[in-house]
Structure 1
């Protein structure tokens, strides 16, 4: 029985230009993040005619990311390849929570713990968060907190004013 040869469609849309090959080669060698290097290697292998299954085995990924990377390249070029570095858990303090905390902090002078209590009252279902994260979020919004102390000069000055007022 004669085997039918299936012609592969070009996943990248069209073959890469020499400039694109050079750019992807440099990206695969020098990018800071290993996942971007892996994406560039996959696109270069697709351009060379490698099948998705061989690339998947070589790069130790499933086949779906390779199709996603090729689609990103077809749709947006290099920008489609570089977006998507979205690792990690979602933040505990959302933008709405931080905006509310900044609003509360601007209304009256409060400590971070007091601001956190206001935020917890307003958002009771929110996960617990640390005061350091709250402080960092407020600092990013232009607010900073300094510990207030009673200086000796103020105490001395109040003693002087008290002494003058008793005369």
Structure 2
């Protein structure tokens, strides 16, 4: 499975178009990953090398390359076979991502309120967590402090 492949990923795609698409794309991790794989292949690396770099199987990256060769960048976009459409549009997701990026230490509850007020869309906190994960953010679960713990608990537990 090593060696050069005969697949020409730049057959229907210009390198500049690929670079522009990578630069502007922030919302869907799967598509971005596919663009990166195609970019690696277009620079002369083998499919096996691209698969190793992005940590996907050879077969998966090979399928992406064949799709790109035949359909261009449009073929790389994930096509979901149904399900409920998102309440937030792609542009709203990008705008939300930029707001979150500019706001340090924003909590998931703050994002929930922001989405409700700014976009007039009501999601559950669980769904906000899924959206955050899709945008590439990771929030850990917050644990409340017990009212029974002493006020200087951190000081008492601190190693000296």
Q: Higher helix fraction: Structure 1 or Structure 2?
A: 1
TM-score after normalising by structure 1: 0.41
TM-score after normalising by structure 2: 0.42
| Structure with more contact order per residue of length (Cα contacts < 8 Å, sep ≥ 6) | 2
